[in-house]
Structure 1
Amino acid sequence: MQASVHTAVRELAAEVGRDALTVPMIAQRAGVTPSTIYRRWGDLQELLSDVAVERLRPDTAPRDHGALPADLTAWAEQFLDEMSSASGRAYIRDALLGDPDGGNAGQCSAYAAEQIDVILNRATERGEETPGVETVMDRVVSPLMYRILFRPDGLDAAYARGLVTGLLDPTGRWPGKAA
């Protein structure tokens, strides 16, 4: 049932737009009653939040570029690109708006942490020194998410690269910044 409802939401959002969605419309497309949706999700916003969290889950493991700086930089650039797109921002908003207990936000955070963990484990297996997952979350993911949500102007791949460089360069110097 969950899969059919999620599919109905995605299809209808593509056909009529997210703002035109209603629970009865989704229920009809999914072949369930509106009361089934209300019992399972509570309201439309919670349903949209659930669908958004599912859409924010990465499809594949991060690519291996052979070294921690390259792996983490490529991941940060891709994360920024996906999350700062119009659809990425809409999914983030939906995930947070229909999340009264914080579980969906935590799941989104867990997806990023899992991806980072893969990158760090690969680097450790190659004998590279690595920061901890939470350090990467605090110094790369958190600033990216803040900027995506609140200060998107001028946000680009160079910013993501600078965060990774700042994390991995023990002197804390960023490219182009005087010592």
Structure 2
Amino acid sequence: MDQKQQDNGKGPQAAPRPGGRAARIQAAIFKAVEELKRQGDAADLTVPAIAARAGVTPSTIYRRWGTLAELLSDVAVKQLRPDAEPADSGDWRADLKGWLEQYAEEMASEPGRAMLREVLGADRLENAGVCSAYTSRQLDIIRARALARGDRPPDTAVLMDRVIAPVIYRILFSRATPDAAYVAGLIEEVLGEDGE
């Protein structure tokens, strides 16, 4: 067997295998959730139905996630992970505006709203922190590019508090859509106060 060996003082132990049995089971369960959600009836989204579709027992799901809400939260986090870095046009303001408009549009869509509710519906709030970190990293990338060009963009924390937070609040607590004009207004408030 060609596995890395680790020595923790108790002798060598096999390193965890990425893509091992547990990873394959999780992938099958996540795929089952996504397929059942596409079929459209929320009443069909149950642990037994997911287990049957994934080819596992319900106890496998309960052991790993505990509740359906925890499973749905983990699936939503996976779906909310960015696929790519923000665009780099050479103008950080345009990149920031474009990225934020796209973010608001995606999160305000029905699938986006559902994923946000699922992330927040879990008993543990770790997944909300993971999603926040995804967003911060995207903003950090835009900010780092601007700093490298000698510009002075606002801090990521300011953008999170003054732009992202109001967008998410509007999505979660009203039916109003944070459209491009709303996002542009938030950005202008932040940039105007920073003297940019």
TM over 0.5: yes
TM-score between the two structures when normalised by the length of structure 2: 0.83
Aligned equivalents of 1:168, 1:82: Cα separation in 2: 23
How has the CA–CA distance of structure 1 residues 171 and 123 changed in structure 2, closer, same or farther, with 3 Å as cutoff? closer
Report if the CA contact (8 A) 2:72-2:118 is conserved: yes
Report if the CA contact (8 A) 2:105-2:178 is conserved: no
Aligned to 1:130: 153
* 1:16 Cα offset (Å): 4.2
Report if the CA contact (8 A) 1:69-1:164 is conserved: no
Aligned equivalents of 2:158, 2:194: Cα separation in 1: 16
TM-score between the two structures when normalised by the length of structure 1: 0.90
* 1:91 Cα offset (Å): 0.5
Q: Deviations over 1:60-80 (max 9, x none)?
A: 111112212101100110010
Count of residue pairs brought into register by the alignment: 172
Aligned to 1:110: 133
Aligned to 1:168: 191
Is 2:179 the partner of 1:119? no
Aligned equivalents of 1:83, 1:44: Cα separation in 2: 22
Aligned equivalents of 1:41, 1:170: Cα separation in 2: 45
Aligned equivalents of 2:149, 2:42: Cα separation in 1: 45
Gaps of 5+ in 1: 173-179
Percent identical: 52
Whichever of the two has the greater Rg, that structure is 2
RMSD: 1.7
Aligned equivalents of 2:49, 2:91: Cα separation in 1: 49
Aligned to 2:52: 28
Aligned equivalents of 1:145, 1:154: Cα separation in 2: 10
Aligned to 1:177: none
Is 2:26 the partner of 1:2? yes
Q: Deviations over 1:1-51 (max 9, x none)?
A: 111110110011112433421111111111111100000000111111111
